[in-house]
Structure 1
Amino acid sequence: MTEGNFVDYVKVHISSGNGGKGSAHLRREKYVAKGGPDGGDGGRGGHVIVKGNKNLWTLVHFKFKKHFKAGHGEHGSKSRSTGADGEDVYMEVPLGTVIRDTETNEILFEITEDGEEKIVLEGGMGGLGNWHFKSATNQTPRYAQPGIKGQEGHLTLELKVLADVGLVGFPNAGKSTLLSVMTSAKPKIANYEFTTLKPNLGIVEYRDFQSFVMADIPGIIEGAAEGKGLGHYFLRHIERNATLLFLIPADSKDVSKEYDILLDELRRYNPELLDKGRLVVISKCDMLDQELIAEMDEDMKEDFKDVPYMFISSVSGLGIQQLKDRLWKLLNE
């Protein structure tokens, strides 16, 4: 999925339909000179409904359509005929979309299942026709209820990527390169920080036609939990990943310190992120010979007692198949 088409945050304006008016009709036929009231009810206004769609991966379809207006209810008519309901309007969203009220920033609900429907704005009720108001003392009421007006509002839609594995690391750690090697995704790759500005998704094909989804998240910097760099715009995507793959380049000055900073940013953003499965991967190992890798391995044994780690190179292919095996095992434990 190309970066330009990955839209994960949009604001939309929504309007539900007005309810139709009730009818104040009095029955008049050839042989019925003074029939009673027979005005029908108005139809209800259309709802605005949010619906989950598993085939969508992004909110790009909201990029150029940001106003959603439901239909109005039809008015009631004679012979107690009820007006037709206004047409509902559906907003289809990918699974993992959080719906907020833009004004209050309150989370209204979250869509996590395919076909799940939530009414976000109800249409106005139709008015009652005059036949509802007849009584012994008022046998020919010449009035009916007007319909209730629809509502308006603004919504904020936030997508949190649903991926099995999330790549976590500093800018320029080699995350996009790894994604391009393990999947058929074509992320933008360049030798400078913040090349990736939006998450990229790719499907990793595993043995026996099995697969899992990997997400390349824009690089974390110190202070990201407070909003520095790209801040919360990418940290929220990590909440949805089952396993976190920490990518640290082999030329890092201090692998352990870099890992601690990344872990601390996740902890400050949401402590629950530390409960996820973790794997530390040292990338760009094509720059090292076997002797240097063995030396680095010895140094890491003490600091990474409780966390599995391994060495790879996206360029030479070192450890890529083993990495797929480790991730598959982590996902299925």
Structure 2
Amino acid sequence: MNATALPAAEDSRELRDARADRRFRRLVTAAGLFVLVSLAAAALSMLWGGRAAFEKFGIGFLWRDAWDPVQEDFGALVPIYGTVITSLLALLIAVPVSFGIAMFLTEIAPRWLRGPIGAAIELLAGIPSIIYGMWGLFVLVPFLSTHVYPWVNDNLGELPLVGALFSGPPLGLGMGTAGLVLAIMIIPFISSVMREVFLTVPTRLKESAYALGSTTTEVVWDVVLPYTRSAVIGGIFLGLGRALGETMAVTFVLGNAHRLTPSLLEPGNSIAATIANEFAEAYSPMYLSSLIALGFVLFIVTFVVLAIARLMLRQLAKREGY
């Protein structure tokens, strides 16, 4: 009797485990599909909200530089230009600094110093963006307008080819200031990712390189970077995605002038700043539709950037044999 009951109990337990496994698979599948549904719903809702602007201006909405609420004449070129320029400038500043921070923490800094600096980076990552914007407006803008931008305009504004980038009135507000604030914001994210991936490099690889007479610089360039290249690129694009969508910090220091200018010293505009500043003032359906259309454009720009990152990482993985 006991011999008969034992297999029955085992069969019942296997059935319960199978049912529990099926429920778990359905649950995690639903969680994964929820991400896709949310992404599609956000994109379609913005596309539907901006349909009036796209119907009136067509695809030309993307390269029109007009923005006249009175005449209901709108275009996305100036906000797109400001978004891309400030984000690329932030990346240009943040990547070398983040790389230096990560290298210092993993290869050079003594153990007693790594903890405090690592904690400081995490604290910087947790500061709300509006705090960065207020700091930029009340501290950084006066400093730059008084001590930095006048020198930049006088000494770099007359250079051939690149002089137009550095010429203009030293207002302090502008795309250069916005790029600098964005760089300070994304440095904690990029440096944290770099530090974590640098720590994954096997110690034996680095010790072998040092044993062969390599310097710290040679170990970094010949061992650490090739081993972590894919993850480093992913962290950089993560910071770029954060910079593209930043709103409040940029709104404080960008100047919010809807004009197309090559100068980094002059005020400009971005997609997020335009939406934040003017959404409450959108008094006509076309005005509101144009702002929602800008949100859809920002969604597409961010999606394209992240898609390019995924393609680059996939190509690197194929090249490395994974």
TM-score range, shorter chain: under 0.3
More helix by share: 2
The higher relative CO (CA closer than 8 Å, separation ≥ 6) is in 2
More strand by share: 1
What TM-score results when the alignment is normalised by the length of structure 2? 0.23
